[in-house]
Structure formats: structure tokens, C-alpha cells
Amino acid sequence: MEEVARMKALAGIRVVDFSWVRAGPWATRWLGAFGAEIIKIEWPENERGRLPSTTTPQHLDVNLNTSGNFNDTNVNKKSLSLNVRTAKGLDIVKRLIAVSDIVIENFSSRVLRNWGLGYEEQRKIKPDIVYVSMSGYGHTGRHHHYTTFGPVAQAVSGLTFLSGLPDRPPAGWGWSYMDDTGGLAGAMCALTGLYRRNMTGQGQHIDLSQMVAGVPLVGPALLDFTVNGRGLRRPGYPPGNRALWPGAPLTANYRGGPTVAPHNAYRTDPGGYNDWCVIVCQSDEEWRRLVEVMDAPVWAEQEKFATVTGRLQHQEELDEQIETWTRTLGKYAVTEQCQAAGVRALPVQSAEDRVEHDPQLRQREMYLEMEHPALGRYKVQNAPFKLSKTPATNSMPSPMIGEHTREIVEGLLGLTHDELRAGFADGTFWPAQRARFPYQEEMLR
Amino acid sequence: MTDTSSLPGPLAGVRVLELADETGQFCGKLVGDLGADVIKIEPPGGEPCRRIGPFVDDIPHPERSLSFWYYNTSKRGITLDIGSADGRDLFRRLAATADVVLETFRPGRLASLGYDYAALSRQNPGLILCSLTPFGQTGPWRDYLSSDLLHMAAGGEMASSGYDETDVPSAPPIAPGGGNAWHMGCHFAYMAIMAALVHRTASGRGQYIDVSIHEACALTTESAIASYIYRGEVLQRHTGRHHAAGPSPRTQFRARDGNYVCALVGGRLNPKYILELADLLDTNGMAGDLRDPKYQDQAVITANSSHIIDGLVAGFIASLPAEEVYHRAQERGFTWGAVRAPEQLLGDPHLFDRGFWKEVAHPELSSSFTYPGEGAIYNGSPWRISRRAPLIGEHNAEILCGELALSIGELRMLMENRAI
């Protein structure tokens, strides 16, 4: 293998990051993993992402620097504490944009424009700037002023409806899927705009809507409606974990796979909250393999289960019988026995299972420890892609609030040390009356 | 508004060869709709995922799969048996012209054909080869079989989604539908490919990318991993709302028309919010006792949160259709939404304003159909569906004869020998 210098894909790229809460920071986390310099602009009085914290370790005080989830969401970034709502703060921002490549934010739709930092102003400062706005409904369209959290974006875009048991309330998504996915969409926009800029020399404003970004994820179901006139409000939908609810008409499942049985979650030993394993047989051949794995019980040899049509028709009995077998084994044992025989099966895994028990994630080094100055040593999530020449490995823990203010203001923008101190005194870099962290006292010496 | 219909997309000039099944075809669509020239290489007879429904007019046929249609817009298509000697040679020649090869073969398959990254990059040092597979190219699960449901289980989506015990006793964990394991993998694959393309603009060199769908899914449960790592907590499932370590107020309410509304109220109750809530509920005369001055005391609010949420808010929502609640609430600054079935989106005026729906021509059926569009508007370099999904081998002559200079006779010979 030829020797290549290990470098970062986005080396030399600088991002002005106004984003907060989750979706925006999840976007810039990945730009940071690719090696861009992420300058996160924060203000302790109206910060959203560090506090309130439900992920501070029990032995630590909750403060701006001890949220575990913030740490995982904001690795590979620097933090500049700055009051953008002052003339002096705004001037600093403009100087920063002048030496940056990307501006990214997930405020409501008119915030940056109201600050005098809309795209037209940004391009006066930096003609080829790539500006990614990640508001709930986008900057365009009559509901641009509506606001979202992940669950609302999921509900309105149709995603929530796809999850649940028939004739029950939607089960939905147990987390802000559209913060995760909206974040990825933001990173995708930034990378795409950056590539275009490198090829054409032109910047642009990319207007992402978190809610609208959910709609392309229900594409086949939408086409079933626009082409066939079939909506999803129909008996037997959504079909839980099955491809088809027993007794429902034979329609598509929109899961990107065939409509088959078995296709379900089954309880496993010892019957705890997350002791479940899913099994799917996509062909009669795979079903015969499963029968072998179960030691060919008499019930499974019945003619009615030999074909996919029969298995779909007698799905309730089929699932009950399979579960009598899975209940005798642990979920990893079911998985290993099935997969060894060429049967699709995997365990339902909690967070603990993924971090502690998943042999694949362990071998792939998904969770590696990093030292954080306020939190201590904890595992941090890694990237799901391995780039041979520009690995996207985590290089820095999340910043403490304002940790890099001096480095950025003096080192990058060329302000004097006296100007930094003056900015702390007049409330530009930190609220004048607010207690400072020791590292801030240190940077003011 | 200026007419931007003729401007090139942001990925104009990028050529992508896609050798992808249902797990990776969405990634090809993502780059294709943004202007890349995507050539989908299918096995002779067509890619097996053309057999996934629903189908046009419910007539099952590989040219009528709506799933295939949706995930393969803006691509040209050729057929090629890359296991045959002729197919391997044609693939090699095409790969010499490509910026990106995206493949979803089982680990080791492409290398067994003689096309690992080293071989492909020798003839084209700028080439980016992205392998997108269920578990990645290494590890004990590398050769495991998978499906969307399997990824939702092992990735942690199911452990977070389901029902409160009081709503549905003994409910299993629920895997959200829609084929989102494939979306998660493809979003991350797109990012990695784009980072490699940006890197190439500076270095001139391509690289190899190994993407794991399992890892993409395992990364997509928000704070579940952090709750465990930092606090040792394993989260419980709740009906239509976030996983949590303990009990939490409900956020999903049934409206008058039987549809549901997602209303985030718990955790926000304070004296100012109470007054705003009273105004909202009063639009239907249902503020109840919310204007009682006692609710200007945080302690009283907290003590009565169940009355406010499960009584007043639930009652207000039950008195109106879900869409009506959604718009009344949002117009007053409440971050609430209707839980819509996808078909309700067609009438959404906001999506209309954003030009979201696209009419896509299907000349072979003498018809056109409405497709969903883009989440992000790329001002100056528009997203667009440049063509419907390719028919099987539709561009064989255009690409193999037009670009690789095969004669019509050679094309016929390849067809007869099942190489295309």
C-alpha cells in the first residue's frame, strides 16, 4: 500500500456556526469530523444545547460545561463566546465571515436577516460564502415563520404516521429523528455548496427546511397515493413490525423490502424490557433454513407454512410458534444461530447493548474514549464511514463555552489582548456581571 | 423571481457509476437530483429491487415498481453482467471515466472480480470508490444478512420507539416504517462521498470509502447513547414521544376528526406560557380556569400540570380538527403540529409555495406523475428530477455505443451472450 499523508478532507475550511439545540450542531459535528475548523458562536444567557442538561454524570454539577449529550454532539469544534446582539459583537462576526467559507445556522427564518446578516449582506463581506440556513420550515413559503422541534417536523411531514400498530395512536419515533436527519441534511448542503464553490468559484444560499426534509423520506408511500390513489389511512396500516397486518389487503409495506412472513419481533430469554429479536425470511428457502435452525418442530412442517402466501395467511399462529422457540434463547444466541444458517435475524439493542455488547460496533471502534476537561474520560460516537486517505476521526472533545475566544479573537482576527479584555469588561465576549470560568480568567491574564 | 430552470445543479460534471440494490439506490438519487450524471448499472434483466412494490395500478412488473421509480430518478441505466469477461471489461472502461463508483455488493465481491480500489485507482487516480454495506467491510457481522427491520432492531431505533404500558399493554418495541435504515446509510454515504470530492478538488486524488448502515443506524437515536454513556440510563419507550429514563407528560392528543396532534406542552409551563395558552384555547372558548390568577404562581402550575395538559389542552384539541389545531397554534407561536398521513401533504400550501411537488414525465406510459421534491432549495443551482427512473437497459446503446464506441453488432453480440 502506498504511503499517503493522513490529512483531513476539509483541511483549511472554516465554518461560522451559529447553530444550537441539536439539528444544527449535529450538522457541524460532521463537518468538524472531516477536518473543517468549526467556530461555534455562543452566548451563555440564551444558550440552547448545553442547558438544561439531562445527561450530566450523577457525580458532577450541572453547568454549561457538563452536558454529556452536548459533548457528543459538539466534538471537533471551537467555541467563541460573543454577544452578537451588540454592534461590537456584530462587527466581530462580520470580520469572522470575511475569513470563512461556510455560514450555518438553525434559527427561525428571519433572525439572521434581522441582524443585518442575510445572504446579500454576507456576500458583500465574502462574495463566495456558502450559507446554509436550517430553519424549521425554510426561508421560503407562507409558513416560514412556523417553528419546529424534531417531533413536530416528524408529525407534519408524515414520518410519525408510519410507525405504530393499526387502530392505535401512532407510536412515532422515540426521539427527534428529524434533528438527526435534519442535521445530516445540513451537512450535506454545506458539503455540496462547498464542492460547487470549489468548482465554479460561486457561493450560494441553501435554504433547508427541517420539516420539508422529512417528506422525501416517505417517497414510495407518496407515489402510491399520487399514482394509485392509495392513502395510508387504511385498515391494517401501519402494520407494527410486520410487513403486512394479518387480514389486511395485500398491499406494499414501504420498508424497502418484500412483503413476507415471518417479519416480526419476538421475545427472547430472559424476557426483559429489551429482550427481543427480529427475524425476517425473504424467501421460502430462508424459511426452510429457519425451520432447520428451530430443529424442525412438527408445527413448522405443516403445509400451510411452506409458502409465503400461506405464512402471510397464518401469520398470527406462525409468530406465536416462532416465539415459543425464541423464548428459550437469549437474543444474541438467536441471532448467531440464525445468521450461521443464513437466516435474517438481529437483536433489538438498547444503548447499553450497542456500547457494551455489540461485537460488530466494538470491532469497528464505534465508541472510543476521549478526555474532556470538565467531564472526564468518556466514550464518544465515531463516524459510520472509513475514508482511506482522510479519516473522519474525532480530534477534539466538545469545547467548553468560550474556550477558544482568545485564540479566535486575537489569533485569527488580530485584535489586541487589551481589546479582548475590554470586550470582556463591556459585555461583548461574556456578560459583564456573570461569573467567569477559571479558563476564562486564564485567557484574560 | 428569476427563471432558474436552465441553471446546472451543484454536482454538474460529476459522473457516478451506481451498482446498488435497495440499500444504496437512494444515495444515487441524492447525487443525481443535484445534477450528477449517474449511470445505474443493473444486472441483465434488471436490478432485483424492481420487484419491490407498490406497482403502478397494482400490476406487478419490473418497469412498474413505484419504489424503484422513486429511488432512481435522474439516472441513466445500462445492463451489464459484471461477472462475465465482457462485462468486466466494459465496467473497467466506464470506471476510467467516472468520478465516483458507488457499490453495495457483499464485502469482497468487487475485489473478487479484480476491481478493488487499488486496481480501479491505477487507471483513474481521482476515482472515489464508496462501498455501502449493511455492516461494513470488516468485523464479525460483516457477512450477516440484513433488512430494514433488522437494522431498526440492532441500530437502536426499536428500543426507543413504542407505547406506554398504559396505552398498549405488553406492546413490542416498534420499528418505524418507511425503509429508513436505507435512508440513514445513504445520507452518511452521501456525506462521505462529498467530503472525498471536496478533498479531491485540492489534492487531485480519490480514495476508498467503507460505509456501514448498521453504524449509521446506531448513530441515529439522538441522546440515547449519551444517556447511557454518561448516566448509565437505559431509556423507556413512550407513545408518540421521546424515550426517557422516567415518566414524562404525553405530547400526542386525539383531535375531533380522529387524527392526532403533537403538542409539546410539558416542561414549558410557566406563568407567561399559561396566558398564551389561555389565548389559544379561548379561540374555541376552551381556556377553562386558565385565566385564574392562581396560575401566575409556578408552584400552582406545577401542581396542576395534569389538569392543564390532560384536561384543558386535551379538551381543546379534541374540539377541533387536527389541521385546524396545528395552524391556530403555530400562528400564535406554539411549536405544535398535526400528525399527518403522507397523502395529506399534497394539499399543503407551504409545500406548494416552495415548488416542492414535481411533475415527472413517463413517456413510455404517455403520462406524467407527481413526485416529492427537495428538502433544501439550492439558490443558483437548483435541485431537479432530470428524468424518470431508467427502463431496463434503456441507455445501453447511448452509453456503450455512444461513449465506449461499441458497434451495434457488438451490442447485439453482448445481448445474445447475456453480458448486457
Closest CA to A164 of A239, A247, A246, A220: A239
Active site residue A179: yes
Q: How far is residue A95's CA from residue A100's CA, in Å, rounded to a whole number?
A: 9
| B194/A195 touch (CB, cutoff 8 Å), yes or no | yes
- Tell me the backbone φ, ψ of residue B3, rounded to 5 degrees: -80, 115
What lies within 8 Å, CB to CB, of B379 at 6+ separation is A119, A204, A205, A206, A207, B4
Burial B336-367 (b: 16+ CB within 10 A, else e): bbbbbbbbbbbebebbeebebbbebebeeeee
- Angle made by CA atoms B36, B39, B44, in degrees to the nearest 5: 165
For the cut 70, the answer to whether the pLDDT of residue B235 exceeds it is yes
Which of B343, B344, B362 would best serve as a mutation to test chain A binding (most A beta carbons within 10 A)? B343
Burial A111-134 (b: 16+ CB within 10 A, else e): bbeebebbbeebbebbeebbbbbb
Q: What's the whole-model pTM score? A: 0.98
| A170/B234 touch (CB, cutoff 8 Å), yes or no | no
Q: Does domain B15-220+353-416 have CATH number 1.20.140.10?
A: no
Q: Which of B138, B211, B264 minimises the CB distance to A385?
A: B211
Cβ count near B101 (within 10 Å) = 26
Which residue from A minimizes the CA distance to B196?
A9
- Lookup result for grid cell 445501453: B396
Burial A366-386 (b: 16+ CB within 10 A, else e): bbeebebebbeebbbbbbbbb
Q: What is the pLDDT of residue B329?
A: 98
**Per-domain residue ranges of chain B:** 15-220+353-416, 249-254+260-339
CA A61 from chain centre, in angstroms, equals: 27
Interface of B with A in 357-376 (CB under 8 A): 369-376
For the cut 90, the answer to whether the pLDDT of residue B255 exceeds it is yes
- Give percent above pLDDT 70 in chain B: 99
How many residues does the structure list for chain A?
A: 445
B249 at interface of A, judged by CB pairs closer than 8 A: no
Which residue from A minimizes the CA distance to B53?
A252
pLDDT single digits (tens) B103-112: 999 999 999 9
B15 torsion bin: left (phi>0), alpha (psi -120 to 50), beta (else): beta
B144 at interface of A, judged by CB pairs closer than 8 A: yes
* B161 contacts in chain A (CB < 8 Å): 163, 171-174
Measure B3 CA to nearest chain A CA, in Å: 16
Beta carbon pairs, A and B, within 8 Å? 540
**Looking at residue B192, what DSSP letter applies?**
H
Q: What is the pLDDT of residue A246?
A: 96
For the cut 80, the answer to whether the pLDDT of residue B353 exceeds it is yes
Decide: residue A421, CB within 10 A, 0-12 exposed, 13-18 middle, 19+ buried.
middle
Mean of pLDDT values over B223-233: 98
Which residues face A130 on adjacent strands? A102, A204
Which residues face B339 on adjacent strands? B260
| B22/A256 touch (CB, cutoff 8 Å), yes or no | yes
Q: How far is residue A342's CA from residue A289's CA, in Å, rounded to a whole number?
A: 7
Q: How far is residue B35's CA from residue B73's CA, in Å, rounded to a whole number?
A: 11
What lies within 8 Å, CB to CB, of A172 at 6+ separation is A151, A154, A155, A160, A163, A164, B161, B176, B239, B240, B241, B252, B262, B339
pLDDT single digits (tens) B152-208: 999 999 999 999 999 999 999 999 999 999 999 999 999 999 999 999 999 999 999
Interface of A with B in 354-383 (CB under 8 A): 354-355, 358-361, 363-364, 366-367, 375, 378-379, 381, 383
Q: What is the pLDDT of residue B6?
A: 84
Q: ipTM of the predicted structure?
A: 0.98
- Lookup result for grid cell 410507525: A163
Closest CA to A276 of A264, A286, A287: A264
Mean of pLDDT values over B34-63: 97
How many residues does the structure list for chain B?
A: 420
A185 at interface of B, judged by CB pairs closer than 8 A: yes
- Angle made by CA atoms A228, A232, A233, in degrees to the nearest 5: 120
Q: What is the pLDDT of residue B1?
A: 42
Along the 445 residues of chain A, how does pLDDT read in single tens digits?
A: 344 446 999 999 999 999 999 999 999 999 999 999 999 999 999 999 999 999 999 999 999 999 999 999 999 999 999 999 999 999 999 999 999 999 999 999 999 999 999 999 999 999 999 999 999 999 999 999 999 999 999 999 999 999 999 999 999 999 999 999 999 999 999 999 999 999 999 999 999 999 999 999 999 999 999 999 999 999 999 999 999 999 999 989 999 999 999 999 999 999 999 999 999 999 999 999 999 999 999 999 999 999 999 999 999 999 999 999 999 999 999 999 999 999 999 999 999 999 999 999 999 999 999 999 999 999 999 999 999 999 999 999 999 999 999 999 999 999 999 999 999 999 999 999 999 999 999 999 9
Q: How far is residue B328's CA from residue B279's CA, in Å, rounded to a whole number?
A: 11
A103 at interface of B, judged by CB pairs closer than 8 A: no
- Rounded to whole angstroms, the maximal C-alpha distance in chain B is 89
B379 at interface of A, judged by CB pairs closer than 8 A: yes
Q: How far is residue A392's CA from residue A34's CA, in Å, rounded to a whole number?
A: 5
Q: How far is residue B355's CA from residue B411's CA, in Å, rounded to a whole number?
A: 41
Peptide bond preceding A384: is omega within 30 degrees of 0, i.e. cis?
Answer: no
Domains observed in chain A: 14-216+365-444 (3.40.50.10540), 240-267+276-347 (3.30.1540.10)
- Grid cell listed for A428: 461583548
Selected catalytic residue, list A179, A207, A319, A358: A179
Q: Are the C-beta atoms of residues B400 and B102 closer than 8 Å to each other?
A: no
